């Protein structure tokens, strides 16, 4: 099976066929932890999403799609209540998406 790699929305993806694609999204972010509006610490997290997408109109300039898959999130650099608080470091769950791609060259030229 041949796959064409692309980078939509800062993610890595591969077209499996005209209608089907896989999408891998990875990022990292830091959050403050608040309790009654008081800052009680901070935490960083690394979410990883892997989705299978279906593109409804693969040859159109406007290509809507839906996707479903799984998420793994790793919590790290946890500093809550001066080290007294902690969180479950590894979490798994389902993820869904809906969106569209626009082919500018086809729409503009």
Evaluate if residue 105 carries a pLDDT over 90.
no
Predicted confidence band of residue 6 (pLDDT cuts 50, 70, 90): very low
pLDDT of residue 31: 82
Predicted confidence band of residue 4 (pLDDT cuts 50, 70, 90): very low
pTM above 0.75, yes or no: no
Evaluate if residue 106 carries a pLDDT over 80.
no
The runs of H, that is alpha helices, within 1-109 are: 104-108
Our measurement of the distance from residue 37's CA atom to the centroid of its chain's CA atoms, rounded to an integer in Å, reads 29
Predicted confidence band of residue 2 (pLDDT cuts 50, 70, 90): very low
End-to-end CA distance of the chain: 32
Q: CATH number of 4-104: 2.40.440.10, 3.40.50.2000, 3.40.50.10540, 2.40.160.20?
A: 2.40.160.20
Q: Name residue, tokens 């406007």.
A: 62
Please list, in sequence order, all residues whose beta carbon lies within 8 angstroms of the beta carbon of residue 83, skipping any fewer than 6 positions away.
Answer: none
Q: How does pLDDT run across 24-83, given as a tens digit for each residue?
A: 988 888 888 888 888 888 888 889 999 999 999 988 889 899 999 999 999 888 888 776
């Amino acid at each position: 099976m041949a796959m064409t790699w692309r980078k939509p929305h800062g993610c890595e993806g591969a077209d499996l066929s005209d209608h089907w694609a896989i999408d891998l999204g990875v990022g990292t972010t830091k959050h403050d932890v608040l309790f009654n509006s008081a800052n009680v610490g901070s935490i960083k997290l690394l979410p990883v999403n892997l989705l299978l997408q279906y593109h409804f109109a693969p040859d159109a300039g406007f290509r809507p799609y839906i996707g479903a898959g799984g998420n793994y999130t790793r919590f790290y650099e946890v500093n809550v209540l001066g080290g007294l608080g902690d969180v479950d470091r590894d979490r798994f769950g389902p993820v869904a998406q809906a969106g569209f791609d626009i082919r500018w060259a086809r729409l503009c030229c």
